[in-house]
Structure 1
Amino acid sequence: MSTKIKASRASKSQKTSCVQAFFLICSFYFLLLTFPAQAARLQSWRLSPTQTQLEFFTDDGVQPTAQLLSNPTRLVIDMPGVTFGRPQVTESYNGAIRAIRVGQFAPGTTRMVVEYAPGYTIDPNQVQFQPRAANQWSVQLPNPQISGVINPSPVTPSPVTPPPISSTPPATNARAFLQSLQATGDGFFLRSTGGAPEIRSLRSGDRRQMIFDFYGATISPNLSPRDLPVNLNGVSRAQITQLSPDVVRVTLTLSEQSPNWQASVSPSGGLIILPQTIGASPGQPVSQTAIVQSVELDANRQLVIRGNQALNYSAGWDRPSGAYRILIRSARTDLRTIQLPANSPLLRAQVRQEGNDVAVLIIPASGNQIGAIVQSSPQQLTVPFTRSGLFPVTPPPITPQPVTPPPTTNPIPVPPRPTPTPVPRPIPSGRQVVILDPGHGGPDPGAVGIGGIQEKEIVLDVSRRVRDILERSNVQVVMTRNADIDLDLQPRVDIAERARATIFVSIHANAISMSRPDINGVETYYFQSGLELAQTIHRNILAGTGAPDRRVRSARFYVLRRTSMPSVLLELGFVTGRDDARRLSDTTFRQRMAESIARGILEYLGRRS
């Protein structure tokens, strides 16, 4: 993760625009009061499903400028003082917006280009930039217009009804990368990144197969499984294959009594395949509104959602809120809150109306994991929870394991393991809550280093190991993410604040140019009240791993500044470093690193108990 920081806060904004003509140029200027600091980093961005709002997030304040260009219409947003740190990324879409491109325009400027499809333009006077915070901006995009039409009516792209399968692939600019196929309580979910593919479906003449072709899609090499045995709504098997370089086929093996199935783009991201009501034809789902009558925990500590009729749903982790999101389609409700008893498996639960759908958002409490959703009847969904571990009174000792480096033609000497500091005593009974925050995740791999190792995978693995050690020592642990999901910065802070955490520990891996493999070592960052915590953990890491010392430093990282408890950010080593990359790839070394971090946390908490 880059250590460059820019701290600023928004004070006022001013927009000037010129008249729309053959060549449209419109610039927006935002004046912000800034602290003297280094560059911020672009963290994430998202386009709303209706393509009317674009949001982007940085790890610190940013002063964007914008201009509108034509032939084709492009809204160009420049972020001075912001680094991207990755090769250019292009996301393709269907509708009036054809693509969003993000890249490093200049050494100190990140550029985001919103490109419209040929024939469309927008009124520059209706583009509105709204600062949500110094590091978060919302761009309200006007409805697209047909080029050359004076005062045209707003253009709303019509939904596309999937045409029959043909041997001639359609023309499409979308490119979707399918990451995984999994069965849900009511159908199948295809996790994907990139654009939305065009979908064509067909049921075989003997009614034993339902075929879906996704044009403009590619299977990820890591997709697993490709052949999924299931027993769901008359489906016995689901297979996914790369039919051609640009076409992915999903084949469902059915019973003759199984209804037709339909595929669509999920509002929360990815693709969903669901059964239609018997008697409906492909592309014509029944649109009857269900009423969500109750959402509550039953005597078995399961979350039960009940409706007045069949509930059609999808589920997955929600990036903006950091919660697990159950979306019930074509539904309405008057519910807003969920009563959580003592010792609830949930840290937080919320019900909200999202247009024509109802969303149930839940965050599991420490030590609890969300199980597979069960649709025990058409009108009821049951969400079980499983315990990920118990807290014994006396934790088992952490036994040092010898490091056995894998063979290599040019072995790198592994430093001898120092004698570890004894593990502190278990924390006395009391509410000691530690937030572990594995950096990056989902489509954001973080730093990518030697051999293709990715920061997001390393830090999630180490964080899980730290959690297991702490929980054996009577410490309650809440992880901001426990899976490969994309989570913005503010939700990470919100999770810590809602949990009233004792400390916040963000775990990352460092990087520098691939031309500097000689740079290796551990860095620890703090802000204000986190100095003692940083020094304690850093000292234990050095003693337990023998890693080079790159010091404890003060920094204004977003998650450090915005959390109210003592907070630190750990850089476990350089994925671009010759020595660090080898060590961080080794699971034995990761365990040593986790033991050292946990030892430092327990030592710090022990002083304050």
Structure 2
Amino acid sequence: MKHLPHFLLTATSLLLLAAPAQASRLESWRFDSTNNQLEFTTDEDVQPKAQLISDPTRLVIDLPGVILGRPASTQSYGGAIRSVRLGQFDRSSARLVVELAPGYTIDPNQVRFRGITARQWTVQLPTPQLVSTGVATPPIGRLPGSTNQTGSTQIPGSTQIQSVRVTQDGIFVRTNGGSPKLDVRRSSDRGQITVDVEGATIALAATRDLLVNRLGVNRITLNQQQASPPVARITLSVDRSSPDWQASVSSAGGLVLLPSGPVAAGGVSRPSANLPAAARPGTLATIESVALENNDTQLIVRANQPLRYTTGWDRTTGAYRVTINAAQLAKNVKGPQLQASSPVLQLRLRQETANTAVILITPASGVQINDLNQPSQQTLALQLQRNRPSVAPLPNPSTASIPVPTPPRTNPLPPRTSPPNPVIPRATNGRPVIVIDPGHGGPDPGAIGVGGLQEKGVVLDISQKVATILEQQGIQVVMTRSDDRDLDLEPRVQLAQRVDATAFVSIHANAISLSRPDVNGLETYYYQSGLDLARSIHQSVLEGTGVPDRGVRSSRFYVLRRTSMPSVLVEVGFVTGRNDAARLADPNFRNQMAGAIARGILRYLGRSS
């Protein structure tokens, strides 16, 4: 496990240490549009740095030492404040950016930072002003007019778009307020249809990006095209061969969007005689291809006959499961070749029974699996949505530094003097579910020690052996990675949460400077409810291997404090230690270590060992 923040160079070798898993994290943030106030909380003390940057005007807040630990995000608004963006600025700093609409600015001398503690901050923004006139404009959500049930306000007589819903025949846009003027246009390449809603704003709670793949529409996006006077834009990404669309105001309170011609199930206008015929009784549909299409936003399954399917998350593997009944896999179907940038981390095709085919999809970090729909009877389309890209470094044409006060330091919590209340392990169908988490992987080797010994390979081997022993004892095991692949911290946590694990065991190898080969031994970490599990595994490893005892310790490692079940992190030894490195390089010792860890887990579960 890595503990040092930089490279250590000795006379004989280089010890590589990746970014520490115990780095500070941004736990939460929100923008209060009513009061123009930004709030954020970190899990460790932080001293923000702030500046106002022009062209376009934006308030940039850097959080040194903070690792985001999740994909970047953007919250868009209508009004003087255009958006609030969050991203990883560099390896050691997260960045919050409050961007103003063109023509607006704020006085940097009136931006007020307040450190409630060194971990909890508020940023009060002044009312944005028009650069040309200097006339103050109300903050977003405080425009003249009455407040509606969504908590935002709107100009009298204006329209607010609250939601978009795809119906069997078209698209319904729920609104409140006045009857807007609509302007419908189609792009010259026929790939987009835009509906400009004049005098309209978009509610903060409205979903602004929908994957559809129905009625010839692939995606629907909402954008505040213009702030004053307000114009909201609804954009339909459509098949080029699909018919045009019409828009009208509904008497039921909303907008109705309908295709002006017939649309087949696949979204293309065509005669009904070309629709796929029903499956012949007693025959199986053959799945002919499984491919990533539409810029890797959809996983498309095609067959020679109509398909019937069910979906859900698979508890055993942690993957998204598509079960297709009355179907068989074609002999040559393999699925897509997955590149490093693919939205799918792993895809498995399985003929589960003679009549049932299964597709298991593990999404990559930052990828969300949305609905599976059926654009035609013989085709399934699984929607894959990436979160927005990280905030890029910003140019510095003109800046104004903003002072940030030093907050009161956060008093650390006193160490726990007594063990927490015992936790009864959970089970699924009578069988506990244990998540085994081999640290690091792929381009992240973890610590590199004596003779080039890499942490990622050592812990993967031990983890696989632990899983095998537990499965032989009737325990369900889910591994966060079973091969040499890159995996961030958050997907490991999400997997454990998704399968409702009984316990989470992360396996790492320790490191210190190569100039300290005398440092060797076992360390086991826990957080809150994991103490009993940590003690059981730690004692079992000491008994089974005879390694030096460096203790059981409480820690706030990300994978421990973010999981809701009892969780521990086992440091099986120092790859930089003279004795530990030799042991960890020995397959026989790794077998001993795996057996001891497995026995500790079994004891915790009340199983004989």
Range class of TM-score, shorter chain: 0.3 to 0.5
Compute the TM-score of the two structures, normalised by the length of structure 1: 0.40
Compute the TM-score of the two structures, normalised by the length of structure 2: 0.40
- Which structure would you say has the larger Rg? 2
